[in-house]
Amino acid sequence: MSSPKYLTGDKAAINEFIDKFDTFLFDCDGVLWSGDHVFDGVIDTIQMLHEKGKRTVFVTNNSTKSRQDYLKKLTALNIPATVEDVFGSAYSSAIYISRVLKQASQPKPKVFVIGEAGIETELASENVDFLGGTDPALRRDITPEDFKALADGTGLDPDVGLVLCGLDFHINYLKLSTAFAYLRTGATFMATNTDSTLPMNHSFFPGAGSVSSIPLANMVGGGKMPVACGKPSQAMMDAVEGKFQLDRARTCMVGDRLETDIKFGIDGRLGGTLAVLTGVMKKHDFEKEDAVTRPAFYVDKVSDLGVATD
Ligand SMILES: O=C(O)[C@H](O)[C@H](O)COP(=O)(O)O
């Protein structure tokens, strides 16, 4: 693996870098913002890319929000975008379940969800029947009656054939027990994404993988991992390519996490990958001898690209 090229402060190299691509796939958390704090210069940089005729697509593993929700956040933060520019792991999962698995025509068409409204909205947009998710009936302690009903199956919906788990800010023992009970009936095991942490407010919190899919994988055992539809899944890359008619050679992935964003771009054989150091990744992560993945380029922060307009 060749050494990543550091672009910060090198105007000629940055201009050459930008000219290599027509489309930039941007990760969100840790690249554009931390929580509701948009990093300095991000808005100007996105606008600069648009003025140069470049397309920007926001590809996020955060399944708590739908495309519309993300558009509201982008708009509130003054980042120029349309709903068509957003591609999240909730949407990626919903189209995989509806169009690849054709879940509606399966003997057990319903989906049990661990996650937030973003997943529910995207499943509904694909006419996939679901339960769980933000249902307030699940936001409580497990009872002896629950143990009995989950153990003998009377507490399960016989039409559930798939479990989809993502980031759930209301995770609890009852939800995990219910999901595990469905998996024990043979339900298909899927995850929107398996990120270990969520970058938020310039710190890190439990991510989707840590709160739902990895604990369930541990319960199921045998090394069985869920089909994940977020980065670095190439099911997501294929869907992004199809929707945006990408020329992969002229597309660059911009991200803050080696094992999701950069791996997504490399495995997808994109023309390039750009790492930014405002989120999860630190320079050492890809400079160390045993780094499994290395970006082609890196900058300290996204706004370092802004010198291209000077
Ligand atoms: O735990 C998660 O779901 C992820 O940390 C989070 O949502 C990542 O979002 P992204 O960086 O892909 O925008």
**Is 297 found in the same domain as 279?**
yes
**Is 284 found in the same domain as 222?**
no
**Is 112 found in the same domain as 201?**
yes
Residue 143 lies in a domain: yes
**Is 245 found in the same domain as 220?**
no
Question: Residue 29, annotated ligand binder?
Answer: yes
Residue 12 lies in a domain: yes
**Is 300 found in the same domain as 258?**
yes
Which residue's CA is minimally distant from atom 7 of ligand 1? 62
Q: Position of tokens 């489309």? A: 23
**Cα 310 to ligand 1 centroid, rounded to whole Å:** 33
41 dihedral zone (left: phi>0; alpha: psi -120 to 50; beta) = left
**Cα 5 to ligand 1 centroid, rounded to whole Å:** 25
Is residue 253 within 8 Å of 265, Cβ to Cβ? Answer: yes
CATH number at residue 173: 3.40.50.1000
- Where among 228, 253, 283 does a domain terminate? 228
Residue 23 lies in a domain: yes
61 lines ligand 1 (CB under 6 A): yes
Range of the domain at 277: 5-61+232-307
136 C-beta neighbours (distance < 10 Å), count: 7
**Is 239 found in the same domain as 222?**
no
306 lines ligand 1 (CB under 6 A): no
Say what the pTM is: 0.93
Burial label for 230, CB within 10 Å (0-12, 13-18, 19+), is: buried
Residue 78 lies in a domain: no
28 lines ligand 1 (CB under 6 A): yes
**Cα 198 to ligand 1 centroid, rounded to whole Å:** 6
pLDDT in tens, the chain (310 residues): 678 999 999 999 999 999 999 999 999 999 999 988 999 999 999 999 999 999 999 999 999 999 999 999 999 999 999 999 999 999 999 999 999 999 999 999 999 999 999 999 999 999 999 999 999 999 999 999 999 999 999 999 999 999 999 999 999 999 999 999 999 999 999 999 999 999 888 889 999 999 999 999 999 998 889 999 999 999 999 999 999 999 999 999 999 999 999 999 999 999 999 999 999 999 999 999 888 899 999 999 999 999 766 5
Q: Which tokens hold the place of 274? A: 């750009």
The alpha carbon dihedral of 80, 82, 88, 92 has a sign of: negative
195 lines ligand 1 (CB under 6 A): yes
Q: How many domains does the chain have?
A: 2
C-alpha to C-alpha distance for 19 and 136, rounded to whole angstroms: 50
C-alpha to C-alpha distance for 217 and 213, rounded to whole angstroms: 6
Q: Which tokens hold the place of 73? A: 């956040």
Residue 126 lies in a domain: yes
**Is 179 found in the same domain as 157?**
yes
**Is 139 found in the same domain as 99?**
yes
Strand segments, DSSP code E, in the chain are 5-6, 23-26, 33-34, 37-38, 55-60, 86-88, 110-114, 130-132, 160-165, 188-191, 197-200, 203-206, 227-228, 251-255, 272-276, 297-299
Q: Which tokens hold the place of 305? A: 């690209």
In angstroms, what CA-CA distances link 115 with 159, 168, 283?
A: 19, 4, 32
C-alpha to C-alpha distance for 212 and 115, rounded to whole angstroms: 9
Tell me what pLDDT residue 1 has.
65
Residue 71 lies in a domain: no
Cis peptide before 232 (omega within 30 of 0): yes
**Is 236 found in the same domain as 224?**
no
Counting every residue written for the chain, the total comes to 310
27 is catalytic: yes
Q: Which residues contact 284 (CB under 8 A, 6 or more apart)?
A: none
94 lines ligand 1 (CB under 6 A): no
**Is 188 found in the same domain as 251?**
no
Residue 138 lies in a domain: yes
216 lines ligand 1 (CB under 6 A): no
Question: Residue 231, annotated ligand binder?
Answer: yes
Report the DSSP beta bridge partners of residue 34.
Answer: 37
Instruction: Kindly give the number of the ligand 1 atom that is closest to the alpha carbon of 279.
Output: 11
90 lines ligand 1 (CB under 6 A): no
**What is the ipTM for the molecules in this complex?**
0.95
Question: Residue 27, annotated ligand binder?
Answer: yes
Q: Which of 19, 22, 29, 300 is catalytic?
A: 29
- Where among 228, 248, 263 does a domain terminate? 228
C-alpha to C-alpha distance for 277 and 289, rounded to whole angstroms: 19
Tell me what pLDDT residue 127 has.
96
**Cα 23 to ligand 1 centroid, rounded to whole Å:** 21
Tell me what pLDDT residue 224 has.
85
157 is catalytic: no
122 dihedral zone (left: phi>0; alpha: psi -120 to 50; beta) = alpha
**Is 46 found in the same domain as 113?**
no
- Where among 228, 248, 264 does a domain terminate? 228
**Is 18 found in the same domain as 121?**
no
Is residue 57 within 8 Å of 24, Cβ to Cβ? Answer: yes
- Tell me the one-letter amino acid at 163: V
Beta-carbon-side half-sphere exposure of residue 89 (alpha carbons within 13 Å): 33
**Cα 144 to ligand 1 centroid, rounded to whole Å:** 35
Q: Position of tokens 């593993």? A: 61
Q: Which of 10, 19, 22, 27 is catalytic?
A: 27
Residue 297 lies in a domain: yes
Q: Which tokens hold the place of 165? A: 């788990």
SS3 category, 248: helix
89 lines ligand 1 (CB under 6 A): no
Instruction: Kindly give the number of the ligand 1 atom that is closest to the alpha carbon of 255.
Output: 11
